[in-house]
């Protein structure tokens, strides 16, 4: 993918993205606090939608390519794009919350996986390693490195722990559009090559999607819900970041991100 298609953000645009990121992260924290036994996924979606609108924004996901809700609530073997509805969260579940908010012309995007009640040690370890994979990648989110350095950091950390990475879905640029160039895979491959060099002003959504079993996934008949092919657990962690001349900056503040 050529670098000239990547939208480098101006100072004004970066400040607008900080605002969008702050709202998005606050919505994630609200949803995460609701993740408890007995709560329906629909109630989480309703609360997130109302919160974003009340704070002057719009839910990025609502009607995006036909998606019918404001948040993705993905439970256990569901990797991403779980559509909220009547399903009740139960003790021992792990629940991935993915949310986006649009305000003043820009989007934020972030996700985290939450443990519900008495989760197994294996599930807690999966959540922990998935989150760690993001922060391993963040070490390489600097000028001079390439997208593939981010990808390799995620892959090496997750695979060293015995997990696999989803390959059909990847991270991405984010800005005035929900999905912008470049793609940010969680693995290295000949298909994606080395990727572009990182440049100040790039804003990226880095989002490890880590499976306890194999990497294969399938999409359910609703054409949205992505589940592990082997039925084993999956975890998701994501933040919107900014590439600077120095340290990368997280634009979606991480308080309440579900870390256990």
Write out pLDDT tens, residues 41-87.
999 999 999 999 999 999 999 999 999 999 999 999 999 999 999 99
Q: Which residue has the tokens 């991403």?
A: 80
Q: Is residue 255 part of a domain?
A: no
Q: Is residue 141 part of a domain?
A: yes
Share of the chain above pLDDT 70, in %: 97
* Cα(151)–Cα(133) distance, integer angstroms: 10
Confidence band for 5, pLDDT divided at 50, 70 and 90: confident
Tally the domains of the chain. 1
* Cα(81)–Cα(223) distance, integer angstroms: 10
Q: Is residue 17 part of a domain?
A: yes
Span 107-136, average pLDDT: 98
More confident residue, 195 or 176: 176
Confidence band for 257, pLDDT divided at 50, 70 and 90: confident
Please report which residue ranges of the chain form alpha helices under DSSP H: 11-34, 41-54, 121-138, 147-160
Confidence band for 1, pLDDT divided at 50, 70 and 90: very low
Write out pLDDT tens, residues 199-210.
999 999 999 999
Write out pLDDT tens, residues 161-177.
999 999 999 999 999 99
Q: Is residue 259 part of a domain?
A: no
Per-residue pLDDT, 193? 62
Domain of 173? Answer: 3-250
DSSP of 170-191, one letter per residue? -EEE-SSSSSEEEEE-SS--TT
pTM for this model (two decimals): 0.95
CATH code of 32's domain: 3.90.230.10
Q: What angle do CA 238, 195, 21 make, to 5 degrees?
A: 30
Q: Is residue 257 part of a domain?
A: no
Q: Is residue 25 part of a domain?
A: yes
Residue 29 pLDDT greater than 60, yes or no:
yes
* Cα(104)–Cα(87) distance, integer angstroms: 34
Q: Is residue 121 part of a domain?
A: yes
Q: Is residue 219 part of a domain?
A: yes
């Amino acid at each position: 993918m050529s670098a000239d298609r990547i939208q480098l953000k101006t100072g004004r645009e970066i400040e607008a993205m900080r605002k969008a990121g702050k709202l998005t992260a606050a919505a994630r924290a609200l949803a995460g606090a609701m993740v408890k036994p007995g709560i329906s996924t629909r109630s989480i979606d309703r609360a997130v939608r109302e919160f974003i609108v009340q704070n002057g924004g719009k839910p990025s996901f609502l009607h995006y390519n036909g998606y019918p809700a404001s948040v993705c609530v993905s439970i256990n073997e569901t990797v991403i794009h779980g559509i909220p509805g009547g399903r009740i969260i139960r003790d021992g579940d792990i629940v991935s919350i993915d949310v986006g908010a649009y305000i003043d012309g820009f989007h934020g995007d972030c996700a985290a996986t939450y443990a519900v009640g008495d989760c197994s040690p294996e599930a807690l370890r999966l959540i922990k390693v998935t989150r760690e994979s993001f922060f391993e990648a963040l070490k390489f989110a600097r000028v001079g490195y390439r997208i593939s350095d981010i990808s390799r950091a995620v892959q090496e950390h997750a695979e060293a722990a015995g997990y696999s990475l989803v390959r059909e879905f990847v991270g991405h640029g984010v800005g005035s559009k929900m999905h912008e160039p470049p793609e940010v895979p969680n693995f290295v491959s000949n298909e994606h090559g080395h990727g572009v060099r990182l440049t100040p002003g790039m804003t990226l959504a880095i989002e490890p999607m880590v499976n306890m079993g194999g990497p294969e996934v399938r999409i359910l008949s609703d054409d949205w819900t992505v589940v592990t092919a082997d039925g084993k657990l999956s975890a998701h962690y994501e933040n919107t970041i900014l590439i600077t001349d120095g340290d990368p900056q997280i634009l979606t503040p991480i308080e309440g991100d579900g870390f256990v």
